[in-house]
Structure 1
Amino acid sequence: MKKIIIYFIGIVLLSSCSVYKTFETPEVTTENLYRDTNSIDAVMPEDSVNLGNLPWRELFTDSQLQALIEQGLEANVDLQTALLRIEQAEASLSSARLAYTPDLSFSSTGTLSDFDGSTSKSHESGLSSSWQIPLFGGLRNTKKGAETTFEQSQAYKQAVQTQLIASIADSYYYLLMLDKQLDITNKTILSWEDRIESMRALKEAGMTDEASITQSEASYYGLKTTYSDLQQSIREMENALSITLGQAPQAIKRGEWQTIKLPEQISIGVPLQMLANRPDIKQYEMALATAFYNTNVARSAFYPNVTISASTGWTNSNGGIISNPGELLSSAIGSLTAPIFSSGVNKANLKIAKSLQNEALLDFKQSLLNAGSEVSNALFQYSTAIQKQEDRSKQLEALERSVLYTRELFQLASSTYLEVLTAQEDLLDAQLSETNDWYDQVQSVINLYQALGGGRE
């Protein structure tokens, strides 16, 4: 009989080995995760310093922007919520660790009864304890799952931080772009006022007509509406950035776009560096690990639970605890509980856990593809913005000459003032587009920095 019991226990222990497996990150293919990196001249060799490894203060050197980022890191609501999630996960982890320790409780009971004129007193006090022996992986996998959930909450906080830094920088540079466009529009409005006065003088001299003046006035008022739209955009962006910074809507102190320095060349490193740097990928990896351990917990439900219980205390059925302390009572019990009729429920729970684990694996792999796409998009945006700036510079030179030539032709009565207006409007559009090109380049650097996992420090 003893041999049969030992044999049975051996089979159970051997079959439970699979419940003790430790999570390992699945192998993923990172080859060609970035697209067309060799065709972009601004990309440095892979062994150069990865842009994503730069501390944010080294990339964003504007003192006003640095102050805003520091404020956001202290007061942003989303980041504060992420910190609270870490506290919650840490408390859950502590609870899972305490499951290894025995439960200890104290109880004290006093009874007073009266029957047929006779009074009896009794008193019992004692300690009781129970301990679940972690033989079949249930407690261990629960603890490991809590650890990965804690790491997942830390990665989530890091992802929120990188997103916050990128969002503040993007909003700040967007405000600088709007400031420049507002300045260009304002100078053009003042210049247009002078031109309208000059045209009225030319009309009195018979050198132009009322139609040209009316066209100029229409363009002038169109510029004023553009100026108002820019003012509104600035106000709305300041309000949005204020909310991100955790403060009431207010004006945002900032510098000028001409003082911003961007890296002339960038390095994106190798995809494996991105895999290690990006907190959102780490978050998906830890979610997969949590699902893995949850599956192990569901699998461990098929095995018995072994619990040891013990109690000790004093009893006094005659009353008078001080004069007659009574006797010491002690007991110890070992119990083994195995599932029988709940097998179907356990199978269903295991099936659900496996399905959730497979779903987490798909999410993890998809996060890699998304990250590679984000890096590729930011790289191409950076390359395109540089090329656009070069072409825009040539366009501006040509339009400035066009305005000059059409004015000279108008003075020689060889062209109409409508041609002068058209040339001036084309120049204004190009000047405004030049600021958009600058912002595109800045935004591409921010996007690439975030896509490579920058902003962790």
Structure 2
Amino acid sequence: MKSSCKIKHILLSMALCWGSSIVSGASAQTRDLADSSTSVSEGFSFDSNSWREVFVDTQLQRLIEQGLIHNTDLNVARLRIDQAEATLKAARLANLPSLAFSPNAGVSSFDREKATKTYAFPLQASWQVDLFGRLKNAKMQSRMLVESSKAYQQAVQVNLIASIAREYYTCALLHSQLMLANQSIDVWNETVRAMKAFMEEGQYTDAAVSQAEASREQVKVIAIDLEQQIRESMNAIKILVGDSANAVALAFHAGDFDESPKQLQSASKLMGINLASSQGIPLSRLSARPDVRQAEMNLAASVYAVKEARAAFYPSLTLSGTAGWTNSAGMIVNPGKMLFEAIASLTQPIFQNGRLKADLKIKQSQQEEARLQFQQALLNAGVEVNNALTQVQTYNAKSVLLENQVKSLERTVKSTRLLQENGSSNYLEVLTAQENLLSAQMAALQDDFMKVTSIIALYQAIL
């Protein structure tokens, strides 16, 4: 099939251009466009429940389940599938004859003579013979558009799941940050109290105490901002899951977010990706993405649209016939007689005011546009996967350093407390060490969140 060869040429060309930086190879053959409803992804492939293997948090799973039922964009995508399937059904039935029953009756009188009554009960049939494949190409075009709408629905579903997961982990991060901010406020309260006590002994000035109080108030402002961001994140989740009844309620506890990076890190193995390796993603994995698949089906539909436009230049053969009961077949007879009629008509377009040529040119231009969009979709897919892999590897490297920093500061806090007990350090040094530890923990939390979002982006990119 010519269209399949075009797709194969594009895939192999993209593989040669990218080399080893984005993709590691290309499949030797691509699937036939007419039978391309079967996914060719390797390992972890898209299905309606594959997200459960990646996002194992039960609270998040409940949110995703609700979103898959009530999300507006996803329901609109499902309706588009229904519309495309109805169009395909009409295209399939176009090969069958059309039947019409059109009874009629009349009364006529000429020059005041006695009125005559006429009647007819004809059953009319018409069948267009598909000599040059016009109806077949229209049917194949509709079939490709059905596959395109299904791919669009899958793309919307993957994006919805990723968006819900991203907002959920954002909310979890904000709760963890708020917890650390409240701990920081407690530390600053102790710091201010200790500094006031030292000020009475002449060790600190009022300016130093005032500066500490200002720092404490700044942390309180941060806590208020975090509470506002939590409310906004909750509202974003409600929009995604279609919570019109305001029934979504999330509960986060200390340490809930700490396990999230580890859970998603292990989930990446289910996707068939070694995050520690620099090896690329096979091209066949990218061609199975819903957005790439949608662009591919649009390209296939445009190919059949061009063939349909070319077929319009050729003659069309229509067979029609009438059978029925009438009393006016040339003359009025009573009682009525049976009427049979068969007609074959051949229509050859000669001059259509340039409409056929313009339509063909438009369809050819749309085919070229669809080809470029497919090529760009494949390129975007490779870049997105490459970016997501790079981000995950970057945040993995940073997390090791931040973890070492937190461990070092934990030892610092422990050491300053021992020194304080032995009289070699004052209480303020302990509070300072605790504040530094909280700041490092906050930075580690942020890095963990970025790691989570990059893995979500990777899940979104390869599906």
C-alpha deviation, 1:298, in angstroms: 0.9
Q: Deviations over 1:146-185 (max 9, x none)?
A: 0000110000001111111111111111111111101000
Describe the SS at the equivalent of 2:220: helix
Q: Deviations over 1:284-307 (max 9, x none)?
A: 000001110111111111101111
Instruction: Quote how far apart the aligned CAs of 1:68 are.
Output: 0.8
* Aligned equivalent of 1:279: 290
428-437 or 304-313, larger mean C-alpha shift: 428-437
Q: If the length of structure 2 is used for normalisation, what is the TM-score?
A: 0.83
SS at match of 1:308: strand
Partner of 1:89: 84
Cα distance in 1 between the residues matched to 2:341 and 2:46: 63
- Residue 64 (structure 1) aligned with residue 64 (structure 2): no
Match in the other structure for 2:257:
257
8 Å CA contact retained: 1:100, 1:134: yes
Distance 2:209 2:46 in 1: 55
Q: CA deviation at 1:348?
A: 2.1
C-alpha displacement of 1:59: 1.3
Q: Secondary structure at the match of 1:316?
A: strand
Q: Which gives a bigger RCO, structure 1 or 2 (Cα 8 Å, sep 6+)? A: 1
Q: Which residue in 1 is equivalent to 2:222?
A: 226
Cα distance, 1:397 vs. partner?
3.5
Instruction: Please report how far the alpha carbon of residue 276 of structure 1 lies from its aligned counterpart in structure 2 after TM superposition.
Output: 4.5
Q: Residues 156-195 of structure 1 correspond to what in structure 2 (within 5 A)? A: 156-195=152-191
Task: Return closer, same or farther for 1:108/1:182 CA change in 2, 3 Å cut-off.
Answer: same
Task: State the alpha-carbon separation in 1 of the partners of residues 454 and 265 from structure 2.
Answer: 11
C-alpha spacing 1:34/1:196, structure 2 compared with 1 (3 Å): farther
1:130 aligns with: 126
- Please list, as runs of the form range in 1=range in 2, the aligned pairs for 1:247-326 lying within 5 A after superposition: 247-248=243-244, 249=246, 252-255=249-252, 256-260=256-260, 261-264=263-266, 266=269, 267-268=272-273, 270-317=281-328, 324-326=334-336
Partner of 1:209: 205
Pairwise mapping of residues 419-438 of structure 1 onto structure 2 (< 5 A)? 426-438=436-448
- Give 1:250 shift: 5.8
Deviation of 1:52 (Å):
6.8
Which secondary structure state, in structure 2, belongs to the residue aligned with residue 196 of structure 1? helix
| TM-superposed deviation, 1:317 | 4.7
Q: d(CA) in 2 for partners of 1:106 and 1:37?
A: 61
Distance 1:165 1:272, change over 3 A: same
Q: Provide the residue aligned with 1:368 in structure 2.
A: 378
Distance in 1 (alpha carbons) for counterparts of 2:437 and 2:132:
77
Preserved CA contact (<8 Å) 2:187 2:431? no
Cα displacement string for residues 89-109 of structure 1 (whole angstroms, at most 9, x for unaligned residues): 001001111110111101111
How far off is 1:220 after superposition?
A: 0.5
SS of residue in 1 equivalent to 2:115: strand
Distance 1:117 1:342, change over 3 A: closer
Structure 1: distance between partners of 2:396 and 2:155: 29
Change (3 A) 1:364 1:37: closer
Q: What CA distance in whole angstroms lies between the structure 2 residues aligned with 1:200 and 1:422? A: 15
After superposing the two structures, state which structure 1 stretch, 177-186 or 261-270, moved more.
261-270
Change over 3 Å in CA distance of 1:426–1:89 after alignment to 2: same
In structure 2, list runs of 5 or more residues that go unmatched: 25-40, 274-279
1:328 match: secondary structure: strand
> 1:51 and 1:413, CA in 2 relative to 1: closer, same or farther beyond 3 A?
farther
Distance in 2 (CA, whole Å) between partners of 1:395 and 1:85 is 52
Rounded to whole Å, the distance in 1 between the matches of 2:335 and 2:196 is 117
Which stretch of the first structure deviates more once superposed, 287-296 or 269-278? 269-278
Shift of residue 430, structure 1, vs aligned partner: 2.2
Name whichever of 337-346 and 151-160 sits farther off.
Answer: 337-346
How many angstroms apart in 1 are the aligned matches of 2:107 and 2:50?
73
Alignment of 1:347 with 2:357, yes or no, is yes
**1:51–1:449: 8 Å Cα contact kept in structure 2?**
no
Q: Deviation of residue 450 (structure 1)? A: 1.4
Cα distance change of structure 1 residues 220 and 377 upon mapping to structure 2, 3 Å threshold: same
Which residue is equivalent to 2:21? 35
**Aligned 8 A contact 1:141 1:297 in 2:** yes
Secondary structure at the aligned position of 2:150 is classed as helix
Alpha-carbon distance in 2 for matches of 1:439, 1:276: 29
Of 429-438 and 21-30, the range deviating more from structure 2 = 21-30
CA-based RMSD of the aligned residues comes to: 3.1
Q: Counterpart in 2 of 1:102? A: 97
Moved more, 66-75 or 397-406: 397-406
Residue 232 of structure 2 corresponds to 236
SS of the residue aligned with 1:262?
helix
Residue 366 of structure 1 aligns with an amino acid whose one-letter code is Q
Provide the residue aligned with 2:8 in structure 1.
26
Whether 1:148 aligns to 2:144 is yes
Q: Is the 8 A contact 2:138 2:305 kept in 1?
A: yes
Give the C-alpha shift of residue 120 in structure 1. 1.7
Distance of 2:296 and 2:22 partners within structure 1: 27
Give the drift of 1:345: 2.5
Q: Report deviation, 1:391.
A: 0.7
1:382–1:134 CA distance, 2 compared to 1 (3 A): same
| Partner Cα distance (2:346, 2:134) in 1 | 14
Tell me if the contact between 2:130 and 2:136 (Cα under 8 Å) persists in the aligned partners. yes
One-letter code of the match for 2:190? Answer: D
- Count of aligned residue pairs for this structure pair: 421
Unaligned regions of 5+ residues in structure 1, if any? 1-19, 39-46
TM-score by length of 1: 0.84
The answer as to whether partners of 2:187 and 2:434 remain within 8 angstroms in 1 is: no
CA distance in 2, matches of 1:103, 1:345: 27
Give the SS at the match of 2:325.
Answer: strand
